[in-house]
């Protein structure tokens, strides 16, 4: 984040959001395997974009989106629905 001067989100079991300079580093430990489903990163990017458009800073948008994304994955894991035929 410092070297490039941008906010960085590293999605994983523990998602890390780093801001450049003396900005905070956010850790989201709510992740699980459901967040690794194909296309979920696209959803995460869309949520970040929507939060940026609403006026949040890049770091705040990334941290909030990561939390919501992980929470949605956790709820999906509780009721995955029917198995594909």
Q: Over the stretch 20-78, which tens digit does the pLDDT of each residue have?
A: 987 789 898 876 666 666 777 899 999 999 999 999 999 999 999 999 988 888 887 77
Is this prediction's pTM over 0.85? no
Can you give the residue range of the structural domain that contains 53? 8-78
Q: What is the dihedral of CA 54, 57, 60, 62, to 10 degrees?
A: 80
Instruction: Let me know if residue 83 belongs to a domain.
Output: no
Question: What pLDDT score was predicted for residue 71?
Answer: 87
Instruction: Let me know if residue 3 belongs to a domain.
Output: no
How many structural domains compose the chain? 1
14 close to 27: Cβ distance less than 8 angstroms = yes
- The CA distance from 63 to 77, in Å, is 21
Instruction: Let me know if residue 13 belongs to a domain.
Output: yes
Question: What pLDDT score was predicted for residue 77?
Answer: 77
Question: What pLDDT score was predicted for residue 12?
Answer: 81
């Amino acid at each position: 984040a410092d070297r490039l001067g941008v906010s960085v989100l590293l999605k994983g079991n523990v998602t890390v959001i780093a801001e450049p300079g003396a900005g905070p580093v956010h850790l989201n430990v709510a992740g699980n395997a459901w967040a690794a489903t194909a296309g979920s990163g696209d959803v995460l990017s869309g949520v970040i974009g929507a939060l940026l458009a609403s006026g949040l800073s890049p770091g705040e948008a990334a941290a909030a989106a990561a939390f919501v994304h992980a929470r949605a994955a956790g709820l999906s894991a509780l009721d995955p629905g029917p198995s594909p035929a």
